[in-house]
Chain A
Amino acid sequence: MSGFEYASAPESKAIANIASSYGLFINGKFVEPKKGKSFTTINPATEELLSKIAYADKLDIDLAVKSARTAFTKVWSKMPAKERGKYLYRIARIMQERAREFAVVETLDNGKPIRESRDTDIPLAAAHFFYHAGWADKLEYAGVGSKPKPVGVVGQIIPWNFPLLMLAWKIAPALAAGNTVVLKPAETTPLTALLFAQVCQQAGLPDGVVNIVTGDGITGAALVNHPDINKIAFTGSTEVGKAIARSISATKKSATLELGGKAANLVFDDAAIDEAVEGIVNGIFFNQGHVCCAGSRLLLQENIADEVLEKLKKRMSLIRVGDPMDKNTDLGAINSKEQLNRIHEISNTGDTEGANRWSPECKLPSKGFWYPPTIFTGVSQSHRIAREEIFGPVLSVLTFRTPAEGIEKANNTMYGLSAGIWSDKGSKVLWAAKQLKAGVIWSNTFNKFDPASPFGGYKESGWGREGGRHGLAGYLTSDAKAAK
């Protein structure tokens, strides 16, 4: 390539201070797991060991739930709401103070570009605490009746794609509403949750209000099945979400589930093409495509398809793939070997089922887990790459002739988390937004998130919303739902 090259601009690891090992955070203290088991977490960009992490089993979960229950009944639910809110404000402020440290640890543990952890994940996570802090003493105005009550002890399970941000989405509204929590971070990205535990200590949060238990799917299942949990809040795959729905079917537990997606990103022929191309790139390559609401099905109106694809390919050749700690990097590492294998497995069916693969030339590092930005054209609706969530930087391109056909194809999925619309015509945008069966519609933008904006899906993308007044309601009991 001619023209200017970017010099590397690496962020320093020095601020990270990652300990060689971490215990479980139960009742305000870091403790060793009862059976002394542990696992490791690595940097997916280098495969270097980052830390040894305590593995929580049933006994540890039981201790964590007990501590959350005691904190709920004795402290947190009795505290004046405005004081509860002040703890959340404190947490938000400390997260802002330590934002750079959080960003570096997040990027090291997750593999996402430092630019994204620094500019998106961490500021949004702090904003979630600040936003919900203000709700704590205003719950009677949240639209769930004049005497809203917390649900109780909430078990929360979060994924590896936005580790700290997902923690904030879960813990901030739960605490604001007066609940206490036991949270399990993802197996491959536990570090920022453990750093957050230190923030809780610095904020003087009463012991047991937040408990962090690290482990794998078995740990998560133990949390879901613990008899003294009142509610499960889960973000992850639709498959696991359904398993949770089954395992709580004969209990009094409620649940919010933020699950998978296969979002359609519709480009109409009157769209501003250059802006749409930026939106397509942001829609699928943001966070390596490890986004449940990623715009992974591009639906182009037929008469502009060639023009959009040409510009998209040109734009994709400018994507910088590589060291996540480099501030110039656009596309970082795939979070784990397991996920990389999954991306390969589903994407390879694109080749065998007859779609056409294209990636720009790019050198992938020799160590770590990497996948180049990829598009498939000539995709039909029955292809696996058009139906299944790949959760990687892989875009399936389909076309449509009429707006009605575009909507029909967009809605032809079991998912309904998000969708994108690109058009310069206001009435068409609002028409399409109404027709699309998805919980979040981005028109002439994509992948925008905000604590004030409810997020969540239709159909098999889950139950309930997170964020905004609607998300808060999920952590309060309604007087109209039957006491079971």
Chain B
Amino acid sequence: MSRIDVNKTYKLFIGGAFPRSESGRVYEIKGANKKFIANPSLASRKDLRDAVVAAKSAHPGWANATAFNRGQILYRIAEIMEGRSEQFVDEICALEGVTNKVAKSQVEAAIDTWVWYSGWCDKLSSVTGSLNQVSGPFYNFTSPESLGVVAIFAESKPSLLGVVRTLAPVLAGGNSAVLIASENYPLPAITLSEALATSDVPSGVVNILTGKSAELAPWVGSHMEIDGVDVAGLSKKQEEELKLVGADNLKRIFRFNLDNHPERILSFMEQKTVWHPIGI
């Protein structure tokens, strides 16, 4: 008799741990060949709130780490993913029904995305900050600072790259993240969380939920501890509804159309200007 595979249980990633949904709910994911793959968690409002608590408490440590250190950790994620690339390729093939070659190039692009953003961490204030020539005896400078907790609705396809190109810039800017994986293609996000857990990313800096965007979006919109949202995976209508409730704490809500662009980092940062007199 041939060996029986040991299948993975796909769980949430909150505060560095892998819990099931507190709601006890799961939903079924089938592959491109219509065969059962997994029962990932169907995250609830409470799971979202737990994720935000974890993200909020992890934020100061991550934001106050040196930019060089953050850059190294982002690079470390690329290293760990490289070692697991076969697993990502298999998963993408099964889910998306693409060829091995197509899946491989997606995984490579995702890894290279981490490398690209890794290099940005300690160059942001040089490139986007300024020393301002004010009319008076003052030293005056502007530099970017992280926003806080950013929620991300990942695109559905490409299933892995869609997660990485939204998550990496948020982390590069020193924010912590609550990422809601796409409803139909959530598995690479969870596998990514296993890479994150072993990449020196501090617990709680990244939290990943699986489930239904439509269910979670209104709670993301009204949560007062979420400071920004990337709505990549939401429909136009969901985006509008989220903006309406998000106005309650003036969330910074964006959708981007270019990959690998510093605007993706800077949109979730604040510019701080400091004045100090010059004199004896």
Contact = CB atoms under 8 A, between A and B. Distances in A.
B85 interface: no
Contacts of B69: none
Contact of A470 (B130, B247, B252, B257): B130
Interface in A202-255: 238, 241-243, 245-246, 249-250
Given A246-B247, A439-B270, A453-B273, A482 B263 contact: no
Interface in B229-280: 236, 240, 243-244, 246-250, 252, 254-258, 261-264, 267, 270-277
B201 to A, nearest CB: 22
Interface stretch (A41-49, A160-168, A190-198, A473-481): A473-481
Interface string A424-443: 00000100010000111111
B33 interface: no
Interface in B122-138: 127-128, 130, 132-136, 138
Contact of A460 (B134, B250, B270, B275): B250
A290 B272 CA distance: 23
A463 interface: yes
A250 B244 contact: yes
Contacts of A462: 250
A445 interface: yes
A440 B275 contact: yes
A23 to B, nearest CB: 35
Contacts of B267: 481
Contacts of A14: none
Looking at A127, A246, A257, which has the most chain B CB atoms within 10 Å of its CB?
Answer: A246
A460 B272 contact: no
A267 to B, nearest CB: 16
B57 interface: no
B142 A470 contact: yes
B276 A444 contact: yes
A459 B256 contact: no
A443 B263 contact: no
A289 B244 CA distance: 32
Given A242-B247, A249-B243, A443 B275 contact: yes
A: interface residue count bin: 35 or more
Given A441-B274, A443-B275, A479-B258, A450 B247 contact: no
A74 interface: no
Interface in A407-455: 414, 416, 429, 433, 438-445, 448, 450, 452-455
B: interface residue count bin: 35 or more
A28 interface: no
A378 interface: no
A468 interface: yes
B250 A453 contact: no
B124 to A, nearest CB: 12
Nearest to B260: A480
A484 interface: yes
A242 B250 CA distance: 7
Contacts of B244: 246, 249-250
A416 B147 CA distance: 12
A453 B236 CA distance: 36
Contacts of A452: 132-135, 140
A407 B254 CA distance: 30
B140 A450 contact: yes
B130 A241 contact: no
A231 B142 CA distance: 25
Contact of B276 (A443, A468, A469): A443
A458 interface: yes
Contacts of B142: 453-454, 468, 470
A483 interface: yes
Contacts of B249: 414, 459-460
A143 interface: yes
Contact of B250 (A459, A465, A481): A459
Interface string A58-75: 000000000000000000
Contacts of A443: 274-276
Contacts of B258: 479-480
Interface in A125-165: 127, 143
B49 to A, nearest CB: 19
Interface string B10-43: 0000000000000000000000000000000000
Contacts of A448: 134, 136, 138, 275
Contacts of A245: 243, 246-247, 250
Interface string B187-202: 0000000000000000
Looking at B250, B254, B255, which has the most chain A CB atoms within 10 Å of its CB?
Answer: B250
Contact of A482 (B135, B255, B273): B255
B250 A484 contact: no
A357 B247 CA distance: 35
A142 to B, nearest CB: 11
Contacts of B133: 452
A480 B276 contact: no
Contacts of B273: 439-441, 453-455, 468
A445 B279 CA distance: 12
B55 to A, nearest CB: 16
B69 to A, nearest CB: 16
Nearest to A238: B250
B257 A450 contact: no
A404 to B, nearest CB: 12
B149 to A, nearest CB: 12
Given A414-B249, A480-B261, A453 B276 contact: no
Nearest to A245: B247
A445 B138 contact: yes
A468 B257 contact: no
A275 B209 CA distance: 52
In the A-B complex, the 9 residue pairs with the closest CB atoms? A480-B263, A249-B243, A245-B247, A450-B134, A480-B261, A482-B255, A250-B240, A482-B257, A249-B244
Interface of B: 127-128, 130, 132-136, 138, 140, 142, 227, 236, 240, 243-244, 246-250, 252, 254-258, 261-264, 267, 270-277
8 contacts: A429-B276, A444-B277, A458-B270, A459-B250, A460-B249, A460-B250, A468-B130, A470-B271
Given A444-B276, A450-B132, A463-B250, 16 more contacts: A242-B248, A242-B250, A245-B250, A249-B240, A440-B273, A441-B274, A445-B275, A453-B132, A454-B130, A456-B271, A459-B249, A478-B263, A479-B258, A481-B256, A481-B263, A481-B267
